[in-house]
């Protein structure tokens, strides 16, 4: 069973007839698999891409090496670019990207300790959420908490999102 936050946001996404896709680094596909376990998966989930290594972010998502070198592969800047470039692979209404540090040995610093996760969510019409949070626990617990938080953030965004009507779409 998926976590409660994913069940709730999946229902909201389905109620608004929206489609979702993922670019996952630290969570390595776990987030998309949570959505796949909901009864709404066939209506909302388009898919996900695991881009764990920096070279995958560069080569597949065309994140400039200079951006990765400047900010690190686990950063708000890289996470935003991953979310923005998901439309290269999926015709989604909601693009979610997640990067972060779940174990020692990466790009951690005193300002970005292990447990720091970056979540970037894009919706149509310029709606978005850029979230940074430091979670505690094991690697599995950090990822689990990030998934729960993503569900909460998605619920807030989708609940307040007004789907454009057909007449409005024709104007765009």
Query: Is the pTM here over 0.95, yes or no?
Result: no
pLDDT at position 167, please?
44
pLDDT tier at 84 (50, 70, 90 boundaries)? very high
Residues 18-35 pLDDT 10s: 999 999 999 999 999 999
What average pLDDT does the segment 26-46 reach?
97
What average pLDDT does the segment 29-50 reach?
97
What average pLDDT does the segment 33-61 reach?
97
What is the tally of structural domains in the chain? 1
The residue segments making up the domain with residue 56 are 4-171
Strands laid side by side in the 116-122 sheet:
45-50, 20-24, 94-100, 116-122, 128-134
pLDDT at position 105, please?
83
pLDDT at position 125, please?
84
pLDDT at position 12, please?
96
Give yes or no for residue 42 having a pLDDT over 90.
yes
pLDDT at position 171, please?
53
Give percent of the chain with pLDDT exceeding 70: 95
pLDDT at position 126, please?
86
Rounded to 10 deg, the angle between the 139-159 and 4-15 helix axes is: 30
126 vs 32: which has the higher pLDDT? 32
* 136 alpha-carbon distance from chain centroid: 19
**Which CATH number goes with the domain that contains 9?**
3.90.950.20
The closest of 138, 105, 144, 100 to 119, measured between CA atoms, is: 100
- Continuous segment of H or E residues that includes residue 146: helix 139-159
Buried b (16+ CB within 10 A) or exposed e, 124-150: eeeeebebeeebeeeeeebbbbbbbbb
Buried b (16+ CB within 10 A) or exposed e, 14-38: bebebbbbbbbbbbbebbbbbbbeb
pLDDT at position 168, please?
52
Residues 132-159 pLDDT 10s: 999 999 999 999 999 999 999 999 999 9
pLDDT at position 39, please?
97
């Amino acid at each position: 069973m998926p976590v409660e936050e994913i069940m709730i946001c999946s229902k909201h996404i389905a109620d608004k007839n929206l489609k979702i896709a993922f670019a996952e680094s630290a969570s390595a596909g776990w987030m998309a698999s949570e959505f796949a376990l909901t009864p709404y998966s066939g209506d909302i989930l388009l898919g996900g891409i695991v881009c764990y290594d920096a070279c995958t972010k560069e080569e597949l998502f065309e994140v400039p090496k200079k951006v990765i070198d400047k900010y690190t592969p686990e950063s708000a800047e890289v996470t935003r670019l991953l979310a923005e470039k998901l439309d290269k692979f999926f015709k989604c209404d909601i693009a979610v990207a997640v990067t972060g540090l779940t174990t020692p040995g990466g790009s951690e610093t005193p300002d970005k300790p292990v447990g720091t996760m970056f979540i970037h969510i894009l919706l149509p019409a310029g709606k978005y959420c850029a979230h940074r949070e430091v979670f505690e626990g094991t690697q599995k617990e950090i990822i689990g908490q990030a998934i729960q938080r993503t569900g909460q953030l998605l619920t807030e965004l989708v609940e307040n999102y007004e789907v454009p009507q057909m007449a409005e779409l024709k104007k765009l």
